[in-house]
Structure 1
Amino acid sequence: MAPTASPFLDPSPCASAQSLGILQLKRDQLIPVVLSDASSTEYAEGNVVNTRFGSFTHSSLIGKPWGTQILASVVDTGSRGGRSKKRKREANGDGNAAEEVGIAPEEPAKGVVKAATASSGFAHLVPPTPETWTLCLPHRTQVVYTPDYSFIIQKTRLRPGDHIIEAGAGSGSFTHAVARTVFNGYPGLEQPEDEEEQVNGTHARKRKRRQKRHGHVYSFEYHKPRAEQLREELTSHGLDPLVTVTNRDVYEDGFCLDDENAPNADVIFLDLPAPWLALKHLTRTPPPPAVVKSIASDPSANTLEPSTCTPQSPPSTKPFRSPLNPKSTTRICTFSPCIEQVQKTVAAMRSYGWLDIEMFTLEHKRLEVRRERIGLAEEGLRGANPSPATVQEAVQRLRDVEDRAKVFHGLQKEKQEQVMRRAEAKKRGEKLSTMKKESEDKKNIKVEGLPPSKHDRLERAKKDSKSRPLFKEGRLVCRTEPEIKTHTSYLVFAMLPVEWTAEDEEKARRKWV
């Protein structure tokens, strides 16, 4: 039976039930959601994801293409279950409790009630990828972020079909990334077939097609609960055929498994507190006990050269077996937050014969590219800076404010004079009907040449924005983030060539000399 395709490897065009989806609220704020259909919930509108930008029902997410903008829904959270907690307790304790208090038993909701669309709030539905999963996964330890693991994959030359050892799985960020990189098919589905070879148009003989080497990730984790949680996550994500999670102390027990063909690694990644203690297991021949003891006590003080490391059997009764691929060069990367760890690791690498040792550190900053619109004409519009762009605009706005102030004070003065005239007329006993009519006529008269008010300016800007190409206007600016949003880390890279024997030397001499 073929395994179910993982959404991390081959997402379908649309979100489906019982699959993982990612709700993107902002650039760095994402929420993982396992979409549930109507049959898996008792609520009338289905399961709901509540966020600061609104509520999103699972029924509004299922069947939508990836990248769709999902509008928030109006959800009645007070009566979602159809029954109150008291009624549920009474139903669980005594089935006749509802009848005693005179409450008619409620029937469960049939189907899913379509929730009404809210007036505001939206999110985007995006497919699960290692990049999006890194931003929203449950943190059990410090994770390896996208800038780091993308550089590690490039520097170690990891490609489809390779085997990689990962020690220190943690939260599984790096595990998901390298599982996608090494994937070139599921193991066990492709069988070697016989093919006929044609020579001069005739069928000469049959030759057997060589079976393809499938990529695999061998992940080791010392903490048992973290290893079990990672194994459950990989199973739910459909990546368990590509990843083997092992709970083990690699310092003492190494990396070899029961299968003789595993791990057979081409690439190694060590995210450990003391990676130099695990290097004794990552050799092609057993290292001398003196070298192992010296590195365990003080790696930085070790001065033994690789030439002095003659193959010797370790004191253990179990024969030495290398976890490395004997047919290809092995590349390694260690992830350390302190420079003292790097010094000890580099000293141990030199003692065990690793070559081309390099260290890198990454300082990642995002670039924000957007259009900046500045001017008083942008007042009330979204994404603009409504401040004067030129001196002329600032002077004109001051003149408009002064003109409106003059008109306002003039009207106030006229009103005060009118009140005084009415008081004098009242003393003389004159009728006020004529004066009232004059005051009402003055109210209806609009002052010509009066600068527009703030309300008028906002209405005019909103009306003009409908015909303006706002995406083309303004100045294109590019700014970097003020702070680095990744933790400090030092990446040490090295390579271990294929073991060169006398037979290989003689064979190369006969071929090339």
Structure 2
Amino acid sequence: MLAVEASLRAQGERQIKEGDVVIVYERHDRMKAVIVARNGELQNRFGVFPHNEWIGKPFGCRVVGKKGGGFVFLLAPTPELWTLVLPHRTQILYVADISFVISFLELRPGSVMLECGTGSGSLTHSLARAVAPSGHVHTFDFHEQRALAAKQEFERNGVGHLVTVTMRDIQGQGFPEEFVGGQADAVFLDLPQPWLAIPSAASSLRCDGGICSFSPCIEQVQRTCEALTIPEFTDIRTFEVLVRTYEVRQEFLQTTLQCGTQFASDCLFKPPPQKRQRPQKGRKRETRPVIAKPYPDTKGHTGYLTFARRST
């Protein structure tokens, strides 16, 4: 994934080859990750798309299906796109929370990051990009199958050299002794009982290093903040990140005088006719204004982010 991004920046474009992970983009809420295979094919509502026709094309190109006459875009994988298409093994963090975490933990190239737990690896991909090329992410998960699946995805997506996956129960065992003495620049906790891991995190963080705990319930936040009040931490703050997505499109509008204030909600949006007539010569083409409205499936609360800073 990072290799694809770096190559695209350096060369301007990169051609798709066998074994690459491609994000097949239909629309902003309909995407799919596909591994390009010789003689493979993708079938969807737009037709049949043979993988052989993808090989040699640049990322970002548009390809037309053999049946159905539709088309899709073949995009290079990025952490943001991967978050939208990855296989869910656990609840994941989305872009709004991820960007907030990276910003408040002040992650930069060369940072050493401790993440617990790995889960589906959504956050880990963005952490790896933030600390690249000289930093490293050490991610821990107590579940063996999840850890192995995540490790395989990191390797396939080109971030394996930046991420070390370890199967370990951080709540019960704490972080490995190799990090004791302030070897980490930041710590992220996504655990049912994060307060149990805070003493170990304090011994692993450098002075002025940041810690973040993600919890879906406010009761977890309260216990975490109590544990953070030990002398090693200061600047304790909790945030809830909410994003409202807008959909912008062309739409037919009802313009009759009957659309008064009381009827605006019923008359504003008129569905387009099922069959549009081709305009006759000499007649002005009907135009459709552009409208914007909140997207109906906008995600609301995902969890609370609690931050603190390691003091002397």
Aligned residues of 2:2 and 2:78 also touching (Cα < 8 A):
no
In structure 2, the residue matched to 1:164 is 113
> Are 1:485 and 2:299 matched, yes or no?
yes
> Are 1:177 and 2:58 matched, yes or no?
no
**CA distance in 1: counterparts of 2:23 and 2:181, whole angstroms:** 34
More helix by share: 1
Distance change (3 Å), C-alpha of 1:464 and 1:277: farther
In structure 1, the residue matched to 2:90 is 141
**CA distance in 1: counterparts of 2:181 and 2:164, whole angstroms:** 10
What is the CA distance between 1:460 and its match in structure 2? 2.7
* Matching of residues 341-420 of structure 1 within 5 Å: 341-374=220-253, 389-390=255-256
SS of alignment partner, residue 177 of structure 1:
helix
Aligned residues of 1:271 and 1:336 also touching (Cα < 8 A):
yes
What is the CA distance between 1:349 and its match in structure 2? 0.2
Distance change (3 Å), C-alpha of 1:5 and 1:475: closer
Equivalent position to 1:265, from 184, 190, 198? 184
In structure 2, the residue matched to 1:23 is 24
Q: Deviations over 1:453-507 (max 9, x none)?
A: x9x981336x789x95x8xx4433221123432543111011113x3xxxxxxxx
Q: What TM-score, normalized to structure 2?
A: 0.85
Structure 1 gap segments, 5+ residues each: 38-45, 74-117, 185-213, 284-321, 375-387, 393-453, 500-513
SS of alignment partner, residue 170 of structure 1:
coil
Q: What TM-score, normalized to structure 1?
A: 0.53
**CA distance in 2: counterparts of 1:263 and 1:351, whole angstroms:** 17
Equivalent position to 1:120, from 69, 82, 97? 69
Distance change (3 Å), C-alpha of 1:121 and 1:464: farther
What is the CA distance between 1:13 and its match in structure 2? 2.3
State the AA in 1 paired with 2:302.
Answer: T
Equivalent position to 2:201, from 240, 261, 282? 282
In structure 1, the residue matched to 2:166 is 246
SS of alignment partner, residue 335 of structure 1:
strand
Q: Deviations over 1:305-331 (max 9, x none)?
A: xxxxxxxxxxxxxxxxx3223xx5210
In structure 2, the residue matched to 1:201 is none
User: Who wins on radius of gyration, i.e. which is larger?
Assistant: 1
Equivalent position to 1:337, from 211, 216, 225? 216
Aligned residues of 2:118 and 2:139 also touching (Cα < 8 A):
yes
Q: Deviations over 1:417-475 (max 9, x none)?
A: xxxxxxxxxxxxxxxxxxxxxxxxxxxxxxxxxxxxx9x981336x789x95x8xx443
Structure 2 gap segments, 5+ residues each: 259-272
> Are 1:54 and 2:58 matched, yes or no?
no
What is the CA distance between 1:252 and its match in structure 2? 2.6
More strand by share: 2
Equivalent position to 1:72, from 65, 72, 77? 65
Distance change (3 Å), C-alpha of 1:464 and 1:355: farther
SS of alignment partner, residue 150 of structure 2:
helix
SS of alignment partner, residue 154 of structure 1:
helix
What is the CA distance between 1:180 and its match in structure 2? 0.6
Equivalent position to 1:6, from 3, 8, 28? 3
Distance change (3 Å), C-alpha of 1:373 and 1:128: same
State the AA in 2 paired with 1:458.
Answer: Q
Count of residues in correspondence between the two structures: 293
In structure 2, the residue matched to 1:225 is 145
Q: Deviations over 1:71-104 (max 9, x none)?
A: 112xxxxxxxxxxxxxxxxxxxxxxxxxxxxxxx
